[in-house]
Amino acid sequence: MLVVGGPLLAVGGCALFLSFLDISGGRSTRDTLSALGAIVFIAGVLAFLVGLLWAFARWADRRFKKAGK
């Protein structure tokens, strides 16, 4: 779930970040929403990496249990 949900969360956070980003360079009243989008993007990327690590650990555990029989 983390491997699939992480990128979806990251894409949503990226879209939120980019939609409320003020391209003109001035200070915007939507800076908080833009920062929230960046945080959600980072959380999605971290969730994806944790999911990959977890999947690899489960694969290795099952592989060594099967070899130990």
**What does pTM read for this prediction?**
0.77
The pLDDT of residue 27 = 66
The pLDDT of residue 3 = 86
The pLDDT of residue 53 = 95
Contact in structure between 50 and 2 (CB atoms under 8 Å):
yes
Question: Per-residue pLDDT for the chain (69 aa), expressed as one digit of tens each?
Answer: 888 899 999 999 999 888 887 676 666 677 788 889 999 999 999 999 999 999 999 999 999 888 776
The pLDDT of residue 65 = 87
